[in-house]
Structure 1
Amino acid sequence: MSFLHPNLKIWLASTLLAPAVALAAERITVENAGLAAPESVVHDTVDDVYYVSNMNGGIADKDGNGFISRIAPDGKVLALKWADGAAAGTTLHAPKGLTIAGRTLYAADIDTVRLFDLATGKPQGDIPIPGATFLNGLAALPSGEVVGTESALLVEGTTVTPTGKDFIYRIGTDRRVAIVAQSPQLNQPNGIAALPSGHFLVSTRGAAEVYELTHQGEKRNVRTLPGKIVDGVGLAPDGRVFASSWETAEVYAVTPDGQVSSPFGKLAAPAADFHFDVKRNRILLPLLRADSLVLAPIP
């Protein structure tokens, strides 16, 4: 199955605030800048800026203090709380996955997907996802639709319990929600990325797996990674599949012929839902436990 072009087969592997910006061999680390449990990042290619979701507290706490930051490619924080759950008229609790469809930013927030106008940062509505308890990754499709993962976790204090009600959903351009796939065999889907074929790459919290999901919800090309609790997943500009593991705090890269490497080694903290800056051949790595964002060249 060709993910990029007929000759390339990919298979999936076993406010303005002055931040502290550390530079090393073109790698930029945004730290000590006010980020608070950053979970996801997305590149707005039109305005050439990054948006970062900050849970700022418990992973499923409806505490109204989550926020989204706006960061320049050089690491400068343009607006720490570009969208602020503590502000009047804005609701954000523990935002995770981000994606952009049209000129709207979508943010997965526990059981609701929240929409924001990229031009103003103002809320553009909420889309409740029926049956959701732990919404996670998001990805935009060329059609303007958005797909997302429900990891199906029940969080009570420090106890996290899988419910077995895992599903992948789709939000239409009319904002209607439809289920793409629903099964405990989805293994607590976490990250999701759209493929040129129209299928999706999905990573799993419940297993060391990355797999392809068809339009019809069929799992294909299931592969096991060296590290468990897989979070971010994506197709790099050069055709390799990248996936991050919480167990090992590494990001794995899988070549078209199946060779697995760890191009960044062990990170200071596990990377969550990463994204690519294709313009700069760069990967954007939110380090949730380190309250930082790493902008690294793709080797």
Structure 2
Amino acid sequence: MRLTHVVALTLALSLAGCGGSDQPSKLWEASGFQTPESALPDTDAAVIYVSNMAGKPNEKDGNGYISKLSLDGKVITDKWVTGLDAPKGMALVDGKLFVADIDKLVEIDVATSAITTKHEAAGAKILNDVAAGIDGDIYVSDWSGNAIWRLADGKFEKWLESDQLKNPNGLLVESDKLVVAAWGAMEPDFSTKTPGNLLSVNLEDKTISNLGDGKPVGNLDGLEPLEADTYIVTDWVAGKVFEIAKSGKAKELLSLSQGSADLGYIPASRTAIIPLMVDGKVVAYKF
């Protein structure tokens, strides 16, 4: 066999063994977390914030906390901020970390690691994800309350409530709309007869519409932009990671374990950081 044939065969076998060059590759895995729900990278500070519910999603037990990791998955501070109940989604704005915590939006000063404000959301059921607009407004999904709350000009209030939100989970502010990763209309046990899909909420008039064809995808959780016209989205129940186009078409990228939650994404390195709630782990994959 000629040398060129040997090289070609070796390359083919190598690609087959790794699942092809377009397959996500696992970079690292960190363990020891307590029901980790959200991972938020801060590349300027070279850290990742991880929210730990350390209990049930609606239990006010004071056991919740935030961990701080390096970008390569090493734990810097296990319990960086403590005294929370069941912290979930996070957003970082001007040195302030905003954390959804059942019926409060907790504001943490990153420089001092101190909780500076707790914005009460009277009547909220389970606040989940947090997203910031370019104008500084903060949007928070009320997962089981079928609502979106907003912090604007220091006032935190219910901004939108509708069954059309299909139990909103992940949020992303994009230009003149709020993109919503919907879980799907929930039964009392959190199951769904029809899984959720991506939605679009007009920020001006609050109209709700399907993003694309509206075809059900899964019990959607984390949501981040991937390409110019696609998003990277997790399915908590199935443990899958999808690429979902603005047309609504979904492509499976990864199959992980149940509990794949609110992921963070670093565009420059094409790295997704995914909390695995049930396993108590955080994993990173390069796309």
For 1:71, which of 69, 73, 80 is the aligned residue? Answer: 69
Report what 2:27 is aligned to.
27
- The answer on whether the counterparts of 1:193 and 1:233 sit within 8 Å (CA) in structure 2 is yes
Q: How far apart in 2 are the matches of 1:237 and 1:284?
A: 17
The answer to whether 1:201 aligns with 2:210 is no
Report what 1:278 is aligned to.
267
- The answer on whether the counterparts of 1:30 and 1:294 sit within 8 Å (CA) in structure 2 is yes
Q: How far apart in 2 are the matches of 1:76 and 1:144?
A: 31
- The answer on whether the counterparts of 1:106 and 1:115 sit within 8 Å (CA) in structure 2 is yes
- The answer on whether the counterparts of 2:25 and 2:285 sit within 8 Å (CA) in structure 1 is no
Q: How far apart in 1 are the matches of 2:127 and 2:154?
A: 16
Q: How far apart in 2 are the matches of 1:123 and 1:256?
A: 37
Report what 2:233 is aligned to.
243
Cα drift, residue 167 of structure 1: 1.1
Cα drift, residue 246 of structure 1: 2.3
TM normalised by structure 2 equals 0.82
Q: How far apart in 1 are the matches of 2:172 and 2:161?
A: 18
Change (3 A) 1:234 1:208: same
- The answer on whether the counterparts of 1:244 and 1:270 sit within 8 Å (CA) in structure 2 is no
- The answer on whether the counterparts of 1:237 and 1:281 sit within 8 Å (CA) in structure 2 is no
- What residue identity is the alignment partner of 2:266? D
Change (3 A) 1:150 1:278: same
Please list the CA deviations of residues 157-203 of structure 1 after superposition, one character each: whole Å capped at 9, or x if unmatched: xxxxxxxx42111101x3202433211221111111111x1311101
Of structures 1 and 2, the one with the larger relative CO (CA 8 A, separation 6+) is 1
Cα drift, residue 258 of structure 1: 5.2
TM normalised by structure 1 equals 0.79
The answer to whether 1:142 aligns with 2:142 is no
Change (3 A) 1:122 1:143: same
* 1:76-155 equivalent positions in 2, closer than 5 A: 76-85=74-83, 92-152=84-144
- What residue identity is the alignment partner of 1:186? L
State the SS of the aligned residue for 1:185. helix
- The answer on whether the counterparts of 2:164 and 2:208 sit within 8 Å (CA) in structure 1 is no
Change (3 A) 1:281 1:210: same
Cα drift, residue 61 of structure 1: 0.9
State the SS of the aligned residue for 1:123. strand
- The answer on whether the counterparts of 1:272 and 1:285 sit within 8 Å (CA) in structure 2 is yes
- What residue identity is the alignment partner of 1:211? L
Report what 1:179 is aligned to.
158
- The answer on whether the counterparts of 1:102 and 1:144 sit within 8 Å (CA) in structure 2 is no
Q: How far apart in 2 are the matches of 1:64 and 1:287?
A: 21
Report what 1:15 is aligned to.
none
State the SS of the aligned residue for 2:278. helix
Q: How far apart in 2 are the matches of 1:136 and 1:286?
A: 14
Cα drift, residue 142 of structure 1: 1.3
Q: How far apart in 1 are the matches of 2:165 and 2:135?
A: 24
State the SS of the aligned residue for 2:44. coil
Give me the identity figure in percent: 28
- The answer on whether the counterparts of 1:137 and 1:192 sit within 8 Å (CA) in structure 2 is yes
Please list the CA deviations of residues 236-255 of structure 1 after superposition, one character each: whole Å capped at 9, or x if unmatched: 14531122112321011124
State the SS of the aligned residue for 2:50. strand
State the SS of the aligned residue for 2:233. strand
Change (3 A) 1:184 1:220: closer
Unaligned runs of 5+ in 1: 1-23, 86-91, 153-164
Please list the CA deviations of residues 84-122 of structure 1 after superposition, one character each: whole Å capped at 9, or x if unmatched: 11xxxxxx0000111111110011000001111111211
Q: How far apart in 1 are the matches of 2:70 and 2:261?
A: 20
